[in-house]
Homo-oligomer: A and B are copies of this chain.
Amino acid sequence: MSSSRVPTNKKTAVACNNCSLSELCLPRGLTKEELTRLESAIDKAIKINKKDYLYRRDDPHQAIYAVKSGSIKTSLSTLEGEEQILGFYLPGDLVGFDAFANNKHSCDAQALEDTFVCELNMDSFHELCGSIASMRNGMMRQVGMEIGREHQLLLTLGQMRTEERLATFLTGIAERNQSRGFSSREFYLPMPRHDLANYLGMAVETLSRMFSRLQEDGIISVNHRLIEILAPERLKGLGHHQCR
């Protein structure tokens, strides 16, 4: 199943400090020597084919992963085969903190498209956290951001109407892209409608209607998974439930 994970592809491996994502996944304030240590501990550019699992629930906690290209979704599945998607992870995001509680993963992580990740195995992780304070702090920061993302999603699922959920989601993606130097006006969504609807806690049909509505209102332009935001301020305005 997840056997299509291939060994490090030396050709695409790039030193961390030359990687465009280093700002995102590298803790600040590492000395040159510490950076070398971190770098030598990281397995670079592991390929996960579309629909393959990076890990599954109950797998032992082997590593923390940084998404280099592509995208990953994490989800919880029930005995009846239903699922709840917990998060989408895009380039620059770190995945794998869900296994901290028991040293085994508590959810599934699946590639939405062909994806490359860098991998920091847990032995190295513990060693580096033990000996480098800024590494430890950087990781806590990342875990904190993960918790923050989940809080935001709880607010979305608990308080918002469907249109508002989609508006908030799209605004979030736009802002994320902005902060990473990509276009905040036009982007591709990596996930199918089915997954996005599940993530946002609504039926696919409802999601589809909301896309249509936002388009009719001239707020966005939808072309399959290519989204163009025509009126960012109006879109943002639909997200009533902004945090105080």
Q: A57-B243, A78-B243 are in contact. Are A150 and B148 (CB under 8 A)?
A: no
Contact with B along A124-161 (1 / 0, CB 8 A): 00100110010011001101111110111111011100
Q: Which of A80-88, A188-196, A211-219, A227-235 contacts B (4 or more CB under 8 A)?
A: A80-88
Q: Which chain B residues lie closer than 8 Å to A98 at the CB level?
A: 144, 147-148, 151
- The distance in angstroms between the C-alpha atoms of A83 and B152, with both chains bound, is 12
Secondary structure type dominating chain A contacts: helix
**Which chain B residue shows the least CB distance to A150?**
B150
**Which chain B residue shows the least CB distance to A81?**
B244
Q: Which chain B residues lie closer than 8 Å to A146 at the CB level?
A: 147
The size of the chain A interface, using a CB distance under 8 A, is 48
So how many copies of this chain end up in the complex?
A: 2
Confirm or deny: A169 has a beta carbon within 8 angstroms of a beta carbon on chain B. Answer: no
Q: Which chain B residues lie closer than 8 Å to A152 at the CB level?
A: 76
Q: Is the CB of B147 within 8 A of A100?
A: yes
Q: Is the CB of B107 within 8 A of A151?
A: yes
